[in-house]
Structure 1
Amino acid sequence: MSQMPQQAALSKCPSCAEPLESGDRFCGACGYDLSVVPAPPQDHPTLTMDGSGAPGEGVDWPVASEPDSSDTPSAVHLPTDLPGTDSGGTPLPRPDSAVSPAPGVRFDRPLEPDDYPLQAPDPRVAAAPAEEAKVCVACRAGRVDNDGYCENCGHAQPRERDHMEQESGPVAAVSDRGLRHHRNEDAFAVGHTALPDGSPVALAVVCDGVSSATRPDVASLAASQAAGAALRAALPRGTHPQQAMHEAIVAASHAVDALAEEPAEAREHSPHQNAPACTIVGAIVTAGLLVVGWVGDSRAYWVPVDRASPAARLTEDDSWAAQMVAAGLMNEAEAYADERAHAITGWLGADAYELEPHTASFKPDRPGVVVVCTDGLWNYAESAEEMAEVVPLDAAARPLHSAQVLVGHALDGGGHDNVTVAVLPFPAPPVGAGSG
């Protein structure tokens, strides 16, 4: 009781900085016990970047090629309509308003942090049976209830998706909640298989949930799983990788659309009106072909192993900033400095406009790595040159380590968003040659 006046004077949680209501005993976001207020904690990244590589000078990276082309031209500088794509971006007309995004644009995150829903841990992570009851990680005494909070001190428990790592043959991915978000709304799928002729193929799919939509974490998980399953089924059958990528994005879109048919009781507790939504980016690597596909503003980058040729960004964002640059209304620096930069113009979801999967195929003339990531990483290494500087020199040989380093780079930079990274070496090594 002696702590109540101090508690009532608090405007935000000393643990997670979430706004508080007068009289709150526990933080609704993290479950922090407000009866005792220690000094505010400081953010410390869980991973540290310990490798880097500087881009070199030399011959240019080859242009995008059609899948059946046998030549390997040089120099790639991706325009808005990528060569080798099955659909290109069309610039928006000049907006009628200098303040609001054009129609068909949505923001991939709320304008203010207060708009984020305050949620208990993922309800899909079921509580352990009574005989194996979980013990609170904070007080080490209380039992964790079905909602993921300690019954003794009220502390929210770590969630399964806060940090995830996976290695599948030659490809690996890491996803982290970051330092500012309440939950991880990113998801990924990685795998390796073989084409009908026995040659190896590696694949990765990365999805970023749209925070202003309902259940963005569920949307990203559904999309990544559907796309990954579609690729693993299509490639061994002999489907051309670029066609397989297109079909995988369509499958992911259908999976996210289906989430809009949620039960009435789920809609009643939803803090948003928008249907579940996410972005998607994927990559397929074979012995001689590199294919990427995307919808939204998650990206894929190419970084050569020898750094003798320049790195390249392989995707073009479906975003307000990209549209402004494509229309010639702003340069890239101006567009991405604008508060509307991350308003996306393409996404997967029941309330999206016509689905336009973008795909592109390339035939690199030298070994390299493909970095597939959400904007939680590329916000801290936006240009291809900046990305090449933070990708370890041994990335092709150690993809999991490299993904960890890249996530660490984002956390060191502030970790303001969820961050997910997949690393694929090119050409795809024989199955069994990867570190995993």
Structure 2
Amino acid sequence: MDLKIFDRLESEVRGYIRSFPVIFSKARGSLLFDEEGKQYIDLFAGAGTLNYGHNNPVLKQPLLDYMQEDGVVHGLDMATSAKKAFLETFERLILKPRGMRYTLQFTGPTGTNAVEAALKIARRVKQRPNVVSFTHGFHGVSGGSLSATANTKYRDAAGVSLGNTTFIPYDGYFGPDVDTMAYFERMLEDRSSGMDAPAAVIVETVQGEGGVNVATLRWLQELQRLCRRYDMLLIVDDIQVGCGRTGTFFSFESAGIQPDIVTLSKSLSGFGLPMAMVLLKPELDIWKPGEHNGTFRGNNLAFVTARTALEHYWSDDAFTGEIQAKETLVRDWLENMVHSHPEAELSVRGRGLIQGLVSGVPGLANKIAAQAFQGGVVIETSGANDEVLKLLPALTIEEAQLRQALEVLDQAVGQVVAAEQLARKQPHARVLKFGGKAR
């Protein structure tokens, strides 16, 4: 398969092509096909952008109909029939059933732009520049969002100093016995802690890029309590784990919290079309017209598919039940892998259909991902050292395909672990640590 044109013309910044070095030409549901006709089961789902799969026919036909009828494609932030229908549907199916009151702001169509808007309005409302973010957090790679992103790889690329953010340990950062919210509260109440009074706190309920780190419901509830007590706005970044990824439409619903601001993107359109949105409590909407704008704010094609996705999947609780059943299936398979290969120092963490297989052996997760790709499964790694094999299947994946993918993954784990053990026995082989000891 000839990839020379990409090597010759495309920037070195390209990333996923290095992990998946084929030319994909077709996609349907949870299947990808390369130019040579090989089929792959997709456990990557566009990094969480394709919660309803590739080219979902439920969403595709209304989109084709809209275009065939010369519906408005580009409309800046003007009123269009597509936007009106989306607003009405979002209010009826998402906001009202949950007792939520939010104003909807359509930003430029990327997640990082939604985060930029959220941070700007929080600072504007509170008239304070400092924001609190968390260790291993990821919120985007544009200026303000990058300041709230923890990973050194992304921060080093900025080329300028990144300030006005205080990083606090995420839930479980020091292990299960350390209450990081107690640490945070002590920093807030001590006027000599060195922390400038924050305008807001931005948090992911599950850190996807950071390694599938899951905040407990109690920790999230305590975070909201601190925000209320110390006059900070609570921003939940639901860009990757919202839109059903954890089972409910919003990832924070089970915690019973009420964020002041919510950012959404990725699977919001339902079809892989660029779309981003900020939900903010009405009293926070102090923008002047056009203050945060963008040529492509409000994607009318995305409005069409987003509305259809809401109507088809979120009109009742049936879809949530399907996600929970698949979560149990995935979790059982992963736990079995853990018990089958104790020497690989594996563990499992996640919520809903974002699950991580974590390895304490450096480099192992990347090798498993590469082996799985050879076996016809697309899967990525995450975490500070790519130590987590991250499963992000489409929420609509067929159970038979999910089982097939998990079987391939199980085999890949076994093959890589066996190869690593064999390498340790060879003369002059690189010594790897298993079980915490060199053998």
In the superposition, the TM-score normalised over structure 2's length comes to 0.28
In the superposition, the TM-score normalised over structure 1's length comes to 0.28
